Amino acid sequence: MGKIITIGEILVEIMAMETGNGFKTAIPLIGPFASGAPAIFIDQVAKLGQPCGIISAVGQDDFGALNVERLRRDGVDVSAIGMHPTAATGSAFVRYRPDGNRDFIFNIKHSACSAIGLTPEAEKLIETANHLHIMGSALVSEGIISLIRAAIAHIKAKGGTISFDPNIRKEIFELPGMRAALDHALQNTDLFMPSGPEILLFSKAADEKEAIAELLDRGIKAIVVKRGANGASYFDSAGEAFAPAFKVDEVDPTGAGDSFGAAFVTCWLRGMEPRKALIIANATGARAVGVKGPMEGTSTMAEIEAFLAKHRETA
Ligand code: ATP
Ligand code: MG
Concatenating the DSSP letter of every residue in 123-142 gives: HHHHHT-SEEEEEGGG--SH
Three-state secondary-structure class, residue 19? coil
Task: Report the nearest-CA residue for atom 6 of ligand 1.
Answer: 195
Is 94 within 8 Å of 16 (Cβ atoms)?
A: yes
* Helix spans in the chain (H): 37-47, 62-74, 120-127, 142-157, 170-173, 178-187, 208-217, 256-269, 274-289, 301-314
Q: Is 240 in the pocket of ligand 1 (CB under 6 A)?
A: no
Residue-level pLDDT at 119: 96
- Burial of residue 217 (number of CB atoms within 10 Å: 0-12, 13-18, 19+): exposed
Q: What is the CATH number of the domain that holds 244?
A: 3.40.1190.20
Q: Is 299 in the pocket of ligand 1 (CB under 6 A)?
A: no
Q: Is 294 in the pocket of ligand 1 (CB under 6 A)?
A: no
Residue-level pLDDT at 172: 65
Please state whether the predicted TM-score (pTM) of the whole model is above 0.85. Answer: yes
Task: Report the nearest-CA residue for atom 23 of ligand 1.
Answer: 228
Angle formed at CA 292 by CA 294 and CA 54, multiple of 5 degrees: 20
Backbone angles phi, psi at 208, to 5 degrees: -60, -45
The rounded Cα 217 to chain-centroid distance in angstroms is 25
Backbone angles phi, psi at 157, to 5 degrees: -60, -30
The segments of the chain whose pLDDT lies below 50 read none
* Spatial distance between the Cα atoms of 157 and 273, rounded to a whole number of angstroms: 26
Count of domains observed in the chain: 1
Is 140 within 8 Å of 175 (Cβ atoms)?
A: yes
Q: Give the domain range for residue 107.
A: 4-314
pLDDT tens profile 65-92: 999 999 999 999 999 999 999 999 999 9
Angle formed at CA 296 by CA 18 and CA 301, multiple of 5 degrees: 145
Q: Is 54 in the pocket of ligand 1 (CB under 6 A)?
A: no
